[in-house]
Amino acid sequence: MAKASKKQALGRGLSALLNNPNSDITSVKDENADKIVGSIVEIELDLIEVNPYQPRSYFNEETLRELASSIKELGVIQPITVRKLEGNKFQLVSGERRLRASKLIGNNTIPTYIRIAKDQEMLEMALVENIQRKDLDPIEVALSYQRLIDEIDLTQEEMSQRVGKKRSTISNYLRLLKLDPIIQTGMRDGFLSMGHGRALINIENTEVQLNIYEKIIQQKLSVRQTEQLVKNLKEGNSIAPIKSVKTIDTPKFISKGLKTISEYFGHKIVIKLAGKNKGKILIPFHSEEDFNRIKKLLE
């Protein structure tokens, strides 16, 4: 019983500090900052504004509802993280899905881990968290690393320490940004892997890069086959011309309908023709959430 009452008293003390206009805490040097920073308290949802630096812009409604159901049953297991603003206001650092799901079930408060951070630190935290996600394509990761270099002025060594990745790994991602934009788009759409991209980086001539890219797509070359192709070229052997494929004129009904289908699914849809008025519709997806979103559209 004594333990429970001590916990409640601590909560009231933190609440008083946060709501006291005469002792506003906006810096780690402010009085009582040590009592606020690192503490976990229940904060009203209305006092928390979203993170303007959040790299993620799409949130799947179905998975949000599933999370909301879990929160309703078990509560918020992992507190969200916010930074303290002036007055009794806070800005989200991480945990936007938990915040949105809590609002869906009508919760008024949410357990929150409090930090004090400047705008630059907020951007850095958002980018670092973004890199740690598992559903990013290689180009998205590379772009996040590049933003840390350009906007936060971090070296590759400093990034290595921040994100817990080897410097060589970071360097390999950054090198992908030297690829032709068409090839980068192919990687984002899942037509070739990071391994393919790393092999193509060794070719400086853009025309030759694109030539090999076309061979990868048309002949479904593996990473090893691509590496061998590049090795042969570097050793002075010319690339064998791409075998001509009998082209099939795209029927007008496909040309007219392709844009509508692409807009519906939110992706560029690929059509593979197999004969007159026959073929396949390929729908790319970029994450588990994206897959579930497409699945819902097909239900």
H runs (alpha helix) in 133-246: 138-151, 156-163, 167-175, 181-188, 194-200, 206-219, 223-234
- Token digits for 62? 């179905």
Q: Decide if 213 contacts 237 (C-beta within 8 A).
A: no
Q: What is the pLDDT of residue 7?
A: 33
d(CA 69, CA 64): 9
Q: Is 270 helix (H, G, I), strand (E, B) or coil?
A: strand
Summarised one tens digit per residue, pLDDT across range 130-155 is 676 666 788 888 888 887 787 777 78
- Token digits for 190? 């899942």
Mean pLDDT of the region 235-260: 62
Domains of the chain: 17-117 (3.90.1530.10), 124-176 (1.10.10.2830), 192-258 (no CATH)
Q: Which residues are catalytic?
A: 96
Q: Are strands 80-84 and 270-275 parallel, antiparallel or unpaired?
A: unpaired
Q: What is the pLDDT of residue 253?
A: 79
Sequence-separated contacts (24+) of 192-199 with Cβ below 8 Å: 192/216, 192/217, 193/138, 193/223, 194/138, 195/223, 195/226, 195/227, 196/221, 196/223, 196/226, 197/138, 198/172, 199/223, 199/226, 199/227, 199/229, 199/230
Distances, alpha carbon 22 to alpha carbons 26, 32, 87, 88, in Å: 12, 12, 10, 11
CA 220, chain centre distance (Å):
27
CA atoms in the 13 A half-sphere facing the CB of 179: 34
pLDDT of residue 248 exceeding 60: no
Q: How confident is the model at residue 268 (pLDDT cuts 50, 70, 90)?
A: low
Most confident of the ranges 50-64, 76-90, 165-179, 238-252:
165-179
pTM value is: 0.48
Partners of 41 in beta bridges: 112
pLDDT of residue 291 exceeding 50: yes
Smallest CA-to-CA distance from 93 within 44, 129, 143, 47 is with: 129
Torsion over CA: 157, 122, 84, 63 (sign)? negative
Summarised one tens digit per residue, pLDDT across range 89-109 is 888 887 888 898 999 999 999
d(CA 61, CA 217): 34
d(CA 28, CA 184): 42
